[in-house]
Amino acid sequence: MLLEIDDVSLLYGRIQALHGISLTVDEGEIVALIGANGAGKSTTMRAISGIRPVASGSIRFDGEDITKLRADLRVRRGLCQAPEGRGIFPGMTVLENLDMGAYTRRDRAGIAQDLDRVLGLFPRLAERRRQQGGTLSGGEQQMLAVGRALMSRPKLLLLDEPSMGLAPMLIQQIFDIIVEINQQGTTVLLVEQNAQQALARAHRAYVLETGRIVKSGTGAELLHDPAVKEAYLGVA
Amino acid sequence: MTTVLDKVRSGREAVGDRWHHAPRWVRWALLAAVIAFFYALPNREFYQYLGPIPTPGANFTQVMFTVSIYVLLAVGLNIVVGFAGLLDLGYFGFFAVGAYTVAVLTSPSSDLKAMWPWLLAVPVAIALTMVSGVMLGTPTLRLRGDYLALVTLGFAEMIRIGAVSSEFLKGQRGFNQIPHPPGEFADGKPVFGVLDARPYYWLVLTLIILVVIGVRNLTHSRVGRAWISIREDEDAAQLMGVPTFKFKLWAFAAGAAIAGLAGALFAGKQNFVNSQNFELLNSIIILAAVIFGGSGNIVGAIVGGGLVAYMIERFRGIELFGVELYEYRFLFFGLVLVIMMIFRPEGLIPNRRRAAEFKDRRKEVTVGE
Ligand SMILES: Nc1ncnc2c1ncn2[C@@H]1O[C@H](COP(=O)(O)OP(=O)(O)OP(=O)(O)O)[C@@H](O)[C@H]1O
Ligand SMILES: [Mg+2]
């Protein structure tokens, strides 16, 4: 197991956002996490990346207990998150943003190689490399957030709604890119509103409801599950 | 109104563009000229030809010393506020720690009776301000911005009240006979005397140049990138592997150390330190100066600190309708700030990034509505 979350609870003040969540991600997988607004998907991501401490439970990554490890040290272990929404650095150019993604690395040659790779995956970013992040369109910012996370060359890439706010064409494209990233060897844990697309591409998936995992299975299984269909796929 | 403002803006941008596109030697030559100008400035033979620039109501050389101290403070605070984006409302508190450390260690009126030479006390003053910065920052920098603002405000007040009321710090009576910096001319006269403020000004000016070179190098390094990322989006910085707490603490400590240095210089020049030197208002003035000049930009901080300190003194001795403008200096100051915040929140000489962050935040506000 690359990532193993066991019975994790998380509190925001007195509000309990996660009630004993357990999930696993195996090396090489794409795992999707779906659920309604406010179900706790982003919270789960925050717990994994470490910007929010967990109240109880444990998180293991790559054979090591990281439950109490600082967020920046988790990045060094190979865990990197592209945050939800506008999580890029607005005053930095596209290149500077990508450079920040490689902050923990010192292997210049490897960084240059990954930069080429990211700009290859996102030609739009290549065109706008000297533009400030804050002036990019919403979709371009989304791509930048994903590309920046890739620059850390993570073992596990955490993506929080990478398709948010994108036009249908671009949604298709970003999912294709995610599959491509995965085929190039990066494990992906993906949070998505776009359940249809996510389930179609994921090896496995979990359904989150008010801070609890209520269902799990392969992507195909959930895609054809009547309850999931009704609740998340907009099919009666 | 806006057209005038736009014109000013495009004019300034044109100057900025020209600067960035000018050949390297032109930039160096201009920079050298500016530096030479400021070294020459406190000489009567020079400033008497500068028309309205010398202050009518105060000794211009003394004023220039005050201005230089403010510039040094603005450069230091700019690291904290401008680069790392931490709101420090009590920056002058560190200045006080620096000045009092020198006073306690060197003055014969101190209970310690250590009577060190000034130069020996300076590194101790810097170290102690740094330590107080770390002590103040460690519990607060983990919290979000508003806590820091409150705690720093409280810190500066605490230092001031401590200075007013504690027997050890001598309150209003203060410390006298603080020794001057060392050095003698060939004829045996001390370089740093009582009457002539110029040597002190030159000393501070030289230190400003050194500090600016250091800060510039720092901001172009990994440390600088970390600070900027924290300022722009702290969570994202952490998600990219930046140890945010550590770098915030560094920024805070570095800023404190510079204020400590400024305090030590001030004590060495004034030769007398008491509790009246450290009013809360000073902290606010420096913060306002940094924001006014363009926080996040070293040149902006220098210009802001210099202009604000100079303008306040410039009002001295000017009468309008029978009242001395100096009495109303903070009214003008406040007015200028308000106007500035409305039309140019990113400051006089903004940082290119900072401007984008402001736009981004405005967008966020409108999106959130
Ligand atoms: N900083 C916070 N303070 C207090 N409560 C929070 C905070 N962040 C999230 N919550 C609450 O925790 C719950 C889970 O939020 P979370 O952001 O994880 O939802 P989500 O599944 O990502 O939703 P969405 O699909 O809308 O992004 C929500 O009820 C939310 O209101
Ligand atoms: Mg979310």
| Residue that is last in its domain, among A130, A151, A172 | A151
Q: Is A91 in the pocket of ligand 1 (CB under 6 A)?
A: no
Encode pLDDT of A171-211 as tens digits: 888 899 999 999 999 999 999 988 888 999 999 999 999 99
> Per the domain annotation, does B299 fall within a domain?
no
Q: Pick from B331, B332, B270, B324: which is nearest to B57 by CA?
A: B324
With contact defined as beta carbons under 8 Å apart, do A157 and A149 qualify? yes
Nearest CA in chain B to A80: B239
> Per the domain annotation, does B13 fall within a domain?
no
Chain A positions contacting chain B at CB under 8 Å are: 49-51, 70-73, 75-76, 80-81, 83, 86-92, 96, 99-101, 103-104, 132-135, 148-149, 152
- A130: which chain B residues are within 8 Å (Cβ-Cβ)? none
| Residue that is last in its domain, among A135, A151, A167 | A151
Point out the ligand 1 atom lying closest to the alpha carbon of residue A211. 14
Span from the CA of B274 to the centroid of ligand 2 (angstroms): 55
User: A12 and A96: one domain?
Assistant: no
pLDDT for the residue numbered A75: 95
What whole-number distance in Å separates Cα of residue B211 and Cα of residue B174? 30
- B242: which chain A residues are within 8 Å (Cβ-Cβ)? 72, 100, 103
User: A63 and A113: one domain?
Assistant: no
pLDDT for the residue numbered B7: 67
User: A172 and A188: one domain?
Assistant: yes
What whole-number distance in Å separates Cα of residue B48 and Cα of residue B46? 6
Span from the CA of A74 to the centroid of ligand 2 (angstroms): 21
Domain count, chain B: 1
Interchain contact, A90 vs B241, CB within 8 Å: no
User: For strand A56-61 and strand A3-12, is the pairing parallel, antiparallel, or unpaired?
Assistant: antiparallel
User: A70 and A159: one domain?
Assistant: yes
Q: Pick from A138, A189, A193: which is nearest to A166 by CA?
A: A138
Of A72, A89, A103, which is closest to B232 when you measure between CB atoms? A89
With contact defined as beta carbons under 8 Å apart, do A90 and B355 qualify? no
- The protein residue whose alpha carbon is closest to atom 5 in ligand 1 is A12
The parts of chain B modelled with pLDDT lower than 50 are: 1, 367-369
Domain count, chain A: 2
User: A72 and A120: one domain?
Assistant: no
What whole-number distance in Å separates Cα of residue A161 and Cα of residue A122? 17
Point out the ligand 1 atom lying closest to the alpha carbon of residue A39. 21
Q: CA angle at residue B50 from B191 to B72, to 5 degrees?
A: 50
Tell me, what amino acid is at B70?
Answer: Y
Which CATH number belongs to the domain containing residue A19 in this structure?
3.40.50.300
Please indicate, yes or no, whether the overall pTM of this predicted structure exceeds 0.95.
no
What whole-number distance in Å separates Cα of residue A27 and Cα of residue A14? 35
Encode pLDDT of A39-91 as tens digits: 999 999 999 999 999 999 999 999 999 999 999 999 999 999 998 777 899 99
Q: Which helix (H) or strand (E) holds A23?
A: strand A15-25
User: A74 and A160: one domain?
Assistant: yes
> Per the domain annotation, does B158 fall within a domain?
yes
What are the CA-CA distances from residue A92 to residues A101, B78, B113, B158, B356 (Å)?
12, 19, 53, 39, 9
User: A74 and A103: one domain?
Assistant: no
pLDDT for the residue numbered B125: 97
What whole-number distance in Å separates Cα of residue B142 and Cα of residue B20? 38
Of B232, B235, B363, which is closest to A51 when you measure between CB atoms? B235
Interchain contact, A92 vs B353, CB within 8 Å: yes
pLDDT for the residue numbered B363: 62
Encode pLDDT of B309-362 as tens digits: 998 888 777 777 777 777 787 888 888 888 888 888 778 887 777 777 777 766
SS3 label, residue A204: strand
pLDDT for the residue numbered B294: 84
Of A80, A91, A134, which is closest to B239 when you measure between CB atoms? A80
With contact defined as beta carbons under 8 Å apart, do A215 and A57 qualify? no
Q: Is A46 in the pocket of ligand 1 (CB under 6 A)?
A: no
Task: HSE, CB side, 13 Å, CA atoms: give it for residue B138.
Answer: 5
Q: How far is B11 from chain A (nearest CA, A)?
A: 22
Q: DSSP string covering B120-187, please?
A: HHHHHHHHHHHHHHHHHHHHHTTS-HHHHHHHHHHHHHHHHHHHHH-TTTTTTT-B--PPPPP-B-TT
Q: What is the mean pLDDT of residues A153-158?
A: 94
- Reported as a pLDDT band with limits 50, 70 and 90, residue A17 is very high
pLDDT for the residue numbered B368: 41
Q: How far is A223 from chain B (nearest CA, A)?
A: 31
User: A73 and A162: one domain?
Assistant: yes
- B240: which chain A residues are within 8 Å (Cβ-Cβ)? 75, 80, 100-101, 103-104, 148, 152
- What ipTM goes with this model? 0.90
User: A52 and A161: one domain?
Assistant: yes
pLDDT for the residue numbered B367: 47
- The protein residue whose alpha carbon is closest to atom 9 in ligand 1 is A43
State which of A15, A160, A207 you would mutate to test the pocket of ligand 1, scoring each by most atoms of that ligand within 8 A of its C-beta. Answer: A15
For the stretch A116-120, contacts whose Cβ atoms lie closer than 8 Å and that sit 24 or more positions apart, written own/partner, are A117/A150, A117/A184, A118/A147, A118/A150, A118/A151, A119/A147
State which of A42, A190, A192, A209 you would mutate to test the pocket of ligand 1, scoring each by most atoms of that ligand within 8 A of its C-beta. Answer: A42
Q: How far is B239 from chain A (nearest CA, A)?
A: 6
Q: Is A15 in the pocket of ligand 1 (CB under 6 A)?
A: yes
User: A2 and A73: one domain?
Assistant: yes
pLDDT for the residue numbered B369: 37
Span from the CA of A102 to the centroid of ligand 2 (angstroms): 25
What whole-number distance in Å separates Cα of residue A124 and Cα of residue A104? 25
| Residue that is last in its domain, among A136, A151, A166 | A151
Q: DSSP string covering B267-295, please?
A: HHHHS-B-GGGG-HHHHHHHHHHHHHH-T
With contact defined as beta carbons under 8 Å apart, do B92 and B259 qualify? yes
Of B233, B242, B354, which is closest to A87 when you measure between CB atoms? B233
Copy the structure tokens of residue A88. Answer: 């890029």
Structural domain boundaries, residue A11: 1-78+154-236
Q: How far is B236 from chain A (nearest CA, A)?
A: 6
Encode pLDDT of A81-132 as tens digits: 998 777 899 999 999 999 999 999 999 999 999 999 999 999 999 999 999 9
Q: Pick from B333, B341, B301: which is nearest to B315 by CA?
A: B333
Interchain contact, B229 vs A103, CB within 8 Å: yes
User: A160 and A228: one domain?
Assistant: yes
Q: Pick from B294, B361, B357, B234: which is nearest to A100 by CA?
A: B234
Nearest CA in chain A to B351: A91
Strand partners for A31: A189, A204
With contact defined as beta carbons under 8 Å apart, do B244 and B250 qualify? no
> Per the domain annotation, does B194 fall within a domain?
yes
Give the ranges where A93-136 is alpha helix by DSSP (H). 94-101, 108-121, 123-127
> Per the domain annotation, does B12 fall within a domain?
no
pLDDT for the residue numbered B69: 96
> Per the domain annotation, does B217 fall within a domain?
yes
The angle, 0 to 180 degrees and rounded to 10, between the axes of the packed helices B118-140 and B244-270 is: 150
- A134: which chain B residues are within 8 Å (Cβ-Cβ)? 356-357, 359-360, 363
> Per the domain annotation, does B67 fall within a domain?
yes
User: A72 and A97: one domain?
Assistant: no
User: Which residues 6+ apart lie within 8 Å of A97 measured at CB?
Assistant: A88, A89, A133, A144, A148
Q: Pick from A50, A45, A55, A78: which is nearest to A160 by CA?
A: A45
Of A75, A91, A132, which is closest to B241 when you measure between CB atoms? A75
Instruction: Check pLDDT > 90 for residue A233.
Output: no
Structural domain boundaries, residue B218: 56-280
